[in-house]
Amino acid sequence: MENRSVLIIDDDLTLCEMTKEMLSMFNINAMIAETKEEAINLYKEKQDDIWLIVFDMHLEQNTGVEVFNALKKINGNFIPFLASGMITEADKQKFEDIGFLEIIAKPFSMKTLKQKIMEYMV
């Protein structure tokens, strides 16, 4: 995935920075957005470079689903992951039905995230 990036949307900047650093160890470029507005602006500017997006379920002012829907309206050509600290099996099915390809429980290990991302790298 040369020159392609993962967009991490999460209001926990420490988690974002750690995730970005760990992905860089696997030669995966990552970008960070902390809010819906940052995500929209970054995606509008870099949508051709972003192939996978990790959405936090609960941002300070929005949900990951709201951000997902906003980005999908711009261009739905990305692989959506949803990360959440509290998710039930019923929730998981609901989010898969919405269009998230992977639901990752937080806190997630870098090994888990890497494995999930690698499944979609073609």
26-44 mean pLDDT: 95
The mean pLDDT value for 1-28 works out to 87
Query: What Å distances lie between residue 37 and 41, 47, 50, 63, 68, CA to CA?
Result: 6, 15, 16, 12, 12
Confidence (pLDDT) at 2: 53
- pTM, two decimals, is 0.91
- 12-87+99-108 topology per CATH: Rossmann fold (3.40.50)
Q: What is the pLDDT of residues 58-109, one digit of tens each?
A: 888 888 999 999 999 999 999 999 998 888 888 889 999 999 999 998 888 8
Q: Provide DSSP, 63-77.
A: BHHHHHHHHHHH---
> In the prediction, which pLDDT does 87 show?
82
- Report the DSSP pairing between strands 50-56 and 29-33: unpaired
CA angle 13, 116, 53 (to 5 degrees): 45
Mean pLDDT of 43-48: 96
Task: For residue 51, report the phi and psi dihedrals to the nearest 5 degrees.
Answer: -110, -20
